[in-house]
Amino acid sequence: MISESCIITKNENNTLAKKTVGTWELVFQSMGQITPITILAGLIVSIVSFSLTAAPLAMLISFVAVLMAANTIYQFSGRIAHAGGYYAYVESGLGKSLGKFTGLQYLIYQVSNLGLEYLIVIWGFSKSLNYAFGTSLPVWTGVVWMGLMIALSFLLMRRGARPSLRLALALGTIQVFFVIILSLIIIPLAPDNTLQAFAPTAASNGWTGVFLGFIVGGYLAFAGYGSIVPMGEEAKSPRKTIRRALVIVILMAGVVFILGSYAMIVGFGITKLSTFSSVVIPGLVVTRRFVGVGGAVVFIAINVFLSTYGTVVGMGTPLTRVMYALGRDKVLSEKLSKVNDRGVPLNSIYTTYVITMLAAVITGGVFYIFYGFYNGLYYAWVIFGTIATLTTLFVHILSNSSLTVLSFRENAKRKLLTWVVLPIATTILMGVAYYYTLLGITMPYLIAPIIFLVWIAISAAITILYRHRTVPIDFSAMTPDGDDENARY
């Protein structure tokens, strides 16, 4: 029997498997990270905490911001297919150092996302089952369930992108249809239907409340749409496939989140929203109220049993690819760029699981000690979510700037709208989000921007210290038109 350590050395070029995933695998990789059901369960709690009745407005603004930000990905994905994803985009316009720096930002973004996912599941697992079935499961059962989902995703990710994403595709399809159908049942029956849901005056503190909802959950809810970018080296016809998947994901998520958030606030009751965040799974309460116990059972099956796997794979897969690329470019240890004979970056996969589990255990443990189980884990995952949102906005600002700089370098006058105007407008919108966030955020949530700034300093130090050894990306091998079989990534 040949040991796995021997197998890893067979792929001497350390290249990822080519042409393994298509459009719909990528769509539901993104939807796995986006997790449509969270608009009924996890993220909707943090959004309503700040935006109250205006939660659908926060989601609408998030949708517009995502459409604008996605333009940059759409433009770049027609030129660049690289496992580094966003950092390859930034490097093409702003140079090697800022490119590698961006890659390091992406790492903390996805680590925060996975930490958030682990804690949300643990936070709501036993309470949701106890509510629906009248059981008395202890809170530690959530830890057991999350451990099982981590193990399942780990085993399938080790087999490669295609097997793990095929399962994510099936589970994601079920989620999307469930959220849409449930929302269409709740809205006509709800007594509180109102256009106030799209007015900033309905938030707890006007526009500040709306943009805080945007930051702590709204934009983050859509954040998985960019997770397809690091799959460029493994996608079939990547320059066409990634663009197509991007459009499908954003439109699908926009419908699900705006419709679902509105259904939740009117279904829960607008006059009762001050108690919304104290209910562990408000979507479960609303579902049971309008659809009965049978609907609550289906809700739990999808929220607890089906969505967790897809979310971990949707977040973990792109993180492993960026980690692999940073190892290949010698920003991180070159061991991270080792792959097995199937083109799977095993070392990056192992590292991903170790780091994300440690982050969740340490952060969740500390807040549990000081604030108890439900309050402590709630604070911890909101902080993870805020770090993730601040970081993804920063990564997009760098990507937008790169596209604009590239337009002047190439004198792309015909692309003034898509390469200059839209990227700059998107950056301004993100700047407004930053302003309102820092204006209204308090402890313990203030820990999030502090960690964000500390990581920026650490990333800058790594980039500067290792600038002489890092390897630049060879963009000359990537043809803007078509998919070059011989491109050197």
Helices 307-328 and 96-133 sit at what angle, rounded to 10 degrees?
A: 160
Is residue 3 pLDDT above 50, yes or no? no
pLDDT of residue 397: 93
pLDDT of residue 297: 83
Identify the three-state secondary structure at position 473: coil
**How far is it, in rounded angstroms, from Cα 222 to Cα 34?**
6
Per-residue model confidence as pLDDT tens digits over 355-379: 999 999 999 999 999 999 988 998 9
pLDDT band per the 50, 70, 90 thresholds, residue 7? very low
Q: What average pLDDT does the chain have?
A: 84
Is residue 438 pLDDT above 60, yes or no? yes
Burial class, 454, CB count within 10 angstroms (exposed 0-12 / middle 13-18 / buried 19+): exposed
Give me the half-sphere count of Cα atoms (radius 13 Å) on the Cβ side of residue 75. Answer: 27
Of the chain, the percentage scoring pLDDT greater than 70 comes to 91
pLDDT of residue 450: 93
pLDDT band per the 50, 70, 90 thresholds, residue 31? confident
Is residue 462 pLDDT above 50, yes or no? yes
Per-residue model confidence as pLDDT tens digits over 172-197: 888 888 889 999 999 999 888 888 88
pLDDT band per the 50, 70, 90 thresholds, residue 199? confident
pLDDT of residue 143: 92
pLDDT band per the 50, 70, 90 thresholds, residue 48? confident
Looking at per-residue pLDDT, the higher value among 160 and 469 belongs to 469
Amino acid at site 210: V
Per-residue model confidence as pLDDT tens digits over 115-153: 988 998 888 888 878 877 788 899 899 999 999 989 988
Burial class, 476, CB count within 10 angstroms (exposed 0-12 / middle 13-18 / buried 19+): exposed
Report the pLDDT averaged over residues 254-261.
Answer: 90
pLDDT band per the 50, 70, 90 thresholds, residue 487? very low
Q: How far is CA 143 from the centre of its chain?
A: 22
Is residue 488 pLDDT above 50, yes or no? no
Question: Between vectors from CA 485 to CA 480 and to CA 489, what angle results, nearest 5°?
Answer: 70
**How far is it, in rounded angstroms, from Cα 200 to Cα 207?**
6
Pick the CATH number of 15-470 from 1.20.1740.10, 3.40.50.150, 3.40.50.80, 1.10.275.10: 1.20.1740.10
pLDDT band per the 50, 70, 90 thresholds, residue 9? very low
Q: Which token pair is 364?
A: 């969740």
Identify the three-state secondary structure at position 403: helix
The answer to whether 348 touches 327, Cβ cutoff 8 Å, is: yes
pLDDT of residue 185: 94
pLDDT band per the 50, 70, 90 thresholds, residue 89? very high
Per-residue model confidence as pLDDT tens digits over 377-415: 989 988 998 898 889 889 999 999 999 999 888 877 778
Among 317-321, 416-420, 427-431, name the most confident range: 317-321
pLDDT of residue 479: 52
Q: Any idea which of 44-53, 305-314, 343-352, 476-485 has the lowest mean pLDDT?
A: 476-485
What sign does the CA torsion over 108, 430, 76, 222 have? positive
Q: Any idea which of 157-166, 398-407, 420-429 has the lowest mean pLDDT?
A: 157-166
